[in-house]
């Protein structure tokens, strides 16, 4: 079966520094793939190449069998790939619902400019996007907080808000970059449950970069390990945890924990 996402010999250099070195991987439909590795291993660079923030130095990225190497960022989003970031991208002075509507406008037929100019049909479109934003909040359990200021939410719920905004793009594939960063154990467990629910209820494919081993090993079907820009291991969570190359890369600390 054709993977929904495939990278082939993907590499990225910044001057003389090789951030990613010939990484090839495949993500099956409806799979949760965890991507782990020490700090600076190249994990976020991989996501930046897939989401077209960076151009690859070498190699290619295929989504549903077609190369996306030359697409712009908004074209990648329109194709069905949504992305969250390690650093929260929340608009703190806007409401929870308005934050999700930003994502809806990006995917909407009229867009932000049309909304501002009140073009023909815009009010109907605005209501449609408002309804969609509410549905996304309902999916992640935040609908009852729709009218609250997003900046007042605890970090765990802000992470859920980012999930809702990603859903507003109606993606087939979601890239989660350290979604549990800064969360308490309880918040991370709740987020892990939400990630599993998104796959089960919406049929999404999810790839996540994560340092919290309890999260990544608990939700992932397969795990890819990157170290110093290279893929050094791939398999089930149990297989990866027992791989001597992984134990060496982590010096035994995070994996054993």
Tens digit of each residue's pLDDT (9 = 90 or more) over 15-54:
889 999 999 999 999 999 999 999 999 999 999 999 999 9
Whole-number pLDDT of residue 251: 52
Tens digit of each residue's pLDDT (9 = 90 or more) over 166-204:
999 999 999 999 999 999 999 999 999 999 999 999 999
Is 5-88+171-256 a domain of CATH 1.20.1250.20? Answer: no
Tens digit of each residue's pLDDT (9 = 90 or more) over 96-110:
999 999 877 555 443
Q: Where are the domains of the chain?
A: 5-88+171-256, 91-152
Whole-number pLDDT of residue 102: 86
CA separation, residue 193 to residues 67, 163, 245 (Å): 32, 12, 29
């Amino acid at each position: 079966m054709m993977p929904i996402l495939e990278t082939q010999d993907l590499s990225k250099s910044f001057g003389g520094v090789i951030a990613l070195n010939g990484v090839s991987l495949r993500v099956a439909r409806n799979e949760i793939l965890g991507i782990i590795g020490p700090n600076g291993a190249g994990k976020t660079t991989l996501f930046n190449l897939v989401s077209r923030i960076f151009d690859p130095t070498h190699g290619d990225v295929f989504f549903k069998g077609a190369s996306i190497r030359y697409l712009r960022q908004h074209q990648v989003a329109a194709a069905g790939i949504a992305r969250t970031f390690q650093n929260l991208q929340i608009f703190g002075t806007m409401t929870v619902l308005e934050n999700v509507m930003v994502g809806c406008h990006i995917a909407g037929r009229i867009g932000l400019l049309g909304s501002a100019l009140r073009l023909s049909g815009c009010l109907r479109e605005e209501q449609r996007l408002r309804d969609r934003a509410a549905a996304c909040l309902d999916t992640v359990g935040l609908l009852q907080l729709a009218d609250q200021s997003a900046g007042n939410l605890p970090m765990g719920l802000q992470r859920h808000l980012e999930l809702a905004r990603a859903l507003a793009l109606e993606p087939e594939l979601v890239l989660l970059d350290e979604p549990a960063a800064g969360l308490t154990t309880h918040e991370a467990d709740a987020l892990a449950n939400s990630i599993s629910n998104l796959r089960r209820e919406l049929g999404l494919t999810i790839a996540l970069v994560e340092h919290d081993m309890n999260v990544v090993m608990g939700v992932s079907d397969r795990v890819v390990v990157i170290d110093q820009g290279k893929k050094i291991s791939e398999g089930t969570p149990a297989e990866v945890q027992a791989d001597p190359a992984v134990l060496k890369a982590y010096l035994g600390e995070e994996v054993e924990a």
